[in-house]
């Protein structure tokens, strides 16, 4: 969500009221005002403008305010996931007649406040400002949450995704590919003779080498759904959803070449340059097998790449 102006939506079936309220809210210079004439139009506008605050007249020509707010809250809960905080959108009801029972029902259904019609401009503006104060805090919390999530899934040294991200993504992609009947490939990557690199050039140079390799591996991936993470130490792992073994071999080969193209001097390395070995595994996820088996297969391939001479990929 862009952290620009607040988006306000006024839902009222009376032209005159809609215009009146819209003009009043137009005085707020940090807000854009949108108008909807009924519940159907409101639902469409909500999807496109993602309002920060909604004002709803109780008596709409195609529905009533309580039903509409239930519909809105229902959709909000459908959009939520563990990854993302659903933004709570405050709803203020407008009504000429108002009794305790209606107020209670409106709040229980998911509304936040009531405004008596005819609407007093000062009260309307005061209530909208109060709600927007909370919306502003909500935006800050949301941004902090996203930032924390990012930190929690990034490797501190190389700034690429970390092991936590890898584990979560592998589990998610396993299920996704199983549902889609699509192949899933995994590439395990291990830096060759890295202990000797550290011994020869020092641990700090070793860190710089890992950073450069992480960038080269990342830049070798072209599809948005592909990812490479630091698996641990001098090991990396790439997840390639929807990619079969041939595709994965091509990607591994591209990654291998890109590490070599860094031309990092390594006196004990192959042709005196740093390199990596790549272990590939591919399968179509099903209920008989697990992501653990895919990892084991990739690990076995990596072992073969090491024993086959390093600076190579094996399937």
26 or 308: whose CB is closer to ligand GH3?
Answer: 308
Dist CA 92 CA 131 (whole Å):
9
Q: Does 173 bind Mg ion (CB under 5 A)?
A: no
- The answer to whether 189 touches 277, Cβ cutoff 8 Å, is yes
**Stretch in the footprint of Mg ion (CB under 5 A) among 91-99, 166-174, 234-242, 292-300:** 234-242
Q: Does 57 bind Mg ion (CB under 5 A)?
A: no
Task: Give the residue nearest to ligand GH3 (CB).
Answer: 206
Binding at 6: pick from ligand GH3, Mg ion, none (beta carbon under 5-8 Å per type): none
HSE toward the beta carbon, residue 231, CA cutoff 13 A: 19
71 or 198: whose CB is closer to ligand GH3?
Answer: 198
CB of 158 to ligand GH3, least distance (A): 9
Give Cβ neighbours of residue 99 (< 8 Å, ≥ 6 apart). none
Task: Give the residue nearest to Mg ion (CB).
Answer: 190
207 or 292: whose CB is closer to ligand GH3?
Answer: 207
113 or 235: whose CB is closer to Mg ion?
Answer: 235
Q: Does 112 bind Mg ion (CB under 5 A)?
A: no
Given the rule CB under 6 A, which residues bind ligand GH3?
A: 157, 190-196, 198, 203, 206-207, 210, 233-234, 306, 310
- The answer to whether 55 touches 132, Cβ cutoff 8 Å, is no
Q: Does 190 bind Mg ion (CB under 5 A)?
A: yes
HSE toward the beta carbon, residue 183, CA cutoff 13 A: 13
Q: What are phi and psi of 12, to 5 degrees?
A: -155, 135
CB of 70 to ligand GH3, least distance (A): 53
CB of 113 to Mg ion, least distance (A): 60
Q: What are phi and psi of 213, to 5 degrees?
A: -65, -40
57 or 190: whose CB is closer to Mg ion?
Answer: 190
Give the tokens for residue 16.
């005159």
Binding at 195: pick from Mg ion, ligand GH3, none (beta carbon under 5-8 Å per type): ligand GH3
69 or 210: whose CB is closer to Mg ion?
Answer: 210
By CB atoms closer than 10 A (0-12, 13-18, 19+), residue 118 is: exposed
Dist CA 278 CA 311 (whole Å):
8
Q: Does 314 bind Mg ion (CB under 5 A)?
A: no
Binding at 203: pick from Mg ion, ligand GH3, none (beta carbon under 5-8 Å per type): ligand GH3
139 or 310: whose CB is closer to ligand GH3?
Answer: 310
- 256-278: b or e for each residue (b if 16 or more CB lie within 10 Å)? bebbbeeebebeebeeebbbbbb
Q: CB count, 10 Å around CB of 169?
A: 19
Residues near Mg ion (CB under 5 A) are 190-191, 194, 234-235
């Amino acid at each position: 969500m862009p952290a620009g102006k607040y988006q306000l939506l006024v839902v009222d079936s009376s032209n005159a009221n809609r215009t009146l309220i819209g003009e009043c809210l137009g005085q707020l210079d940090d807000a854009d005002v949108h108008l909807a004439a009924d519940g159907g139009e409101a639902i469409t506008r909500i999807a496109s403008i993602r309002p920060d605050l909604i004002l709803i007249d109780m008596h709409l020509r195609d529905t009533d305010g309580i039903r509409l707010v239930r519909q809105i809250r229902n959709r909000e809960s459908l959009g939520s996931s563990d990854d993302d905080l659903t933004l709570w959108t405050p709803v203020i009801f407008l009504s000429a007649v108002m009794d305790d029972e209606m107020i209670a029902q409106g709040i229980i259904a998911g509304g936040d406040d009531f405004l008596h019609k005819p609407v007093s401009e000062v009260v309307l503006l005061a209530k909208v400002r109060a709600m927007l104060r909370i919306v502003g805090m909500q935006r800050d919390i949301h941004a902090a949450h996203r930032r924390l999530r990012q930190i929690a899934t990034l490797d501190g040294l190389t700034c690429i995704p970390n092991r936590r991200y890898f584990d979560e993504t592998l589990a998610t992609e396993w299920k996704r590919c199983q549902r889609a009947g699509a192949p899933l490939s995994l590439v395990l990557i291990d830096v060759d003779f890295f202990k000797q690199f550290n011994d020869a050039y020092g641990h700090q140079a070793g860190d710089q080498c890992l950073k450069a390799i992480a960038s080269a591996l990342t830049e070798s991936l072209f599809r948005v759904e592909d990812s490479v993470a630091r698996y641990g130490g001098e090991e990396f792992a790439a997840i390639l959803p929807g990619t079969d073994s041939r595709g994965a071999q091509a990607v591994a080969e591209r990654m291998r070449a890109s590490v070599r193209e860094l031309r990092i001097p390594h006196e004990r390395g192959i042709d005196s340059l740093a390199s990596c070995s790549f272990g590939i595994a591919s399968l179509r996820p099903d209920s008989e097998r697990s992501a653990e088996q895919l990892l084991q297969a990739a690990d076995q391939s990596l072992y073969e790449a090491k024993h086959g001479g390093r600076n190579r990929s094996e399937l």
